[in-house]
Amino acid sequence: MTSHQLSYCCFLIQLLKAFLPCSAATAAGKAPAIIVFGDSTVDAGNNNDIPTVFKANFPPYGRDFDGGVATGRFSNGRLVTDFLSEALGLPSSVPAYLDSGYTTEELARACGVTFASAGTGLDDLTAQIASVIPLSQQLEYFKEYKEKLKVVHGEDVAKEIITEALYVFSIGTNDFIINYFALPLRPAAYSTSGYVAYLVGLAIVAVREAYELGARRVLFAGLTPLGCLPSARTLNLLTPGRCNEENNHAALAFNAGLEEAMRKLNDELAGARVAYSDVYSVVCSILSNPSDYGFVNVAQGCCGTGLIESSVLCGLNQLLTCQDDDEYAFFDSVHPSEKTYEIIANKIINADFKKVL
C-alpha cells in the first residue's frame, strides 16, 4: 500500500468513526457516552458566554490543552472527565453543552457532554452569588440534550445512549468556599453539620431527578481537602500557609454523608448503579507525599504568585506564572493541574468504574 493509499484509508476510518452512533461503544462493554454535571472541576467552557467573572477562556489556562487553546477549563490542560472519556474509548475531551462551536448534530455525535458551570453549587444561592448556571438548570439542559439525541440518532439509539451512559457529578466545593465560609446568610441559618445535611439532601434530589430522566450509571465525586487549597492556606489567618482544618472537617463530613446517601440510592433505585467516589484520599496522598507523584510544590498554584489567583486574576499575572506546571499539584489557587487531574482520574478508573459500569 502506498503512503497516499494509507493516508486515504486512515481518513476513511476517521470519517466512519465520526458517523458511528455512540452506542457502538457498548459493544466493548463500556459506556457509549459520558454526561457530566457540576462546577469548575468539570466545566469545559459553559461559562464562556455568560456574564460572570468565573471564566477560564484566556491564557494561561489551556496552555497544555490540544492546540494550546483556553477552552474554559480551569486547568492548564484536561480535566478528570476528559481522561475518563478517553478511558471509555470515547473522545479525549468532553464538550461543553453551550459551546457555540458545535452544531446540534456534532454535539449529539460527540459521545458525551458537560453541563457544568464554574462557581455553581448544590445550593442555588451559590449559583446566584457567582451569577452562573445552577444545577437545576443543568438538568433542564440535559432534557434538551436528550431531544437532540433523538433527532440525530433516532428514538431507540438515543434511549440506549441515555440508559448506558456514565453520569458524573462533581459539585459542592463552592457551597463552602464562596458561600458558607465566605458570607453570613447560610451560617446564620445552619450550623456546619446542618448545612452539610442540607447539601447532601440536595445531592439526593439531583441524582433522583437524573434517574427519572433516564440515568442509570451514576458516579458522584466527593470533595477534596478544601482547607488545603492554596487560597485557603493564604486566607488562613490563624496559621498562615497551613491547611484550614475547619474547611477540611466540613469536606469530610459532607463526603461521609454523600457516601451513605449514594449507597442508599444504589439500593433504592431499580436498575441503577450509583456510587460515591472518594477523591479526598487521593488528593491527601498527593499533599502528604508530593515527591512520590513527582510534585515539587503542593502549597501554591502555578499561576501568578500561586497564593490567591484564580480566574481573571490568573490571567492578569502571567509574568509570574510557573514554567513547569507538572511540578505543581495546583494550577491556580483553587484548581488542580492537569497532572493532578490525571492522577485522580486513574484512581476513579481503577477503583470506581467497576461499581457503575
Q: Determine the pLDDT at residue 91.
A: 98
Instruction: Report the SS3 class of residue 297.
Output: strand
Q: Determine the pLDDT at residue 318.
A: 82
DSSP state of 95: P
Q: Determine the pLDDT at residue 234.
A: 97
Give this prediction's pTM.
0.93
- Say which of 23, 39, 40, 123 is annotated catalytic: 40
Q: Per-residue pLDDT for the chain (357 aa), expressed as one digit of tens each?
A: 443 443 334 333 343 344 455 755 554 558 999 999 999 999 999 999 999 999 999 999 999 999 999 999 999 999 999 999 999 999 999 999 999 999 999 999 999 999 999 999 999 999 999 999 999 999 999 999 999 999 999 999 999 999 999 999 999 999 999 999 999 999 999 999 999 999 999 999 999 999 999 999 999 999 999 999 999 999 999 999 999 999 999 999 999 999 999 999 999 999 999 999 999 999 999 999 999 999 999 999 999 999 999 999 998 878 899 999 999 999 999 999 999 999 999 999 999 999 999
| Residue 175 a catalytic site member | no
| Mode of pairing for the β-strands spanning 112-114 and 166-170 | unpaired
Number of neighbours of residue 129 by Cβ within 10 angstroms: 19
Q: How far apart are CA 324 and CA 304, in angstroms?
A: 13
Q: What cell was used for 96? A: 461543553
Q: Determine the pLDDT at residue 29.
A: 57
Range 29-226+243-280 has CATH code 3.40.50: yes
Q: Determine the pLDDT at residue 26.
A: 52
Q: Where are the domains of the chain?
A: 29-226+243-280
Q: Determine the pLDDT at residue 171.
A: 99
| Residue 40 a catalytic site member | yes
Q: Determine the pLDDT at residue 319.
A: 84
Q: Which residue is associated with the grid cell 457516552?
A: 33
What single-letter amino acid sits at 72?
G
- Say which of 277, 310, 335, 352 is annotated catalytic: 335
Q: What cell was used for 176? A: 463552602
| Residue 277 a catalytic site member | no
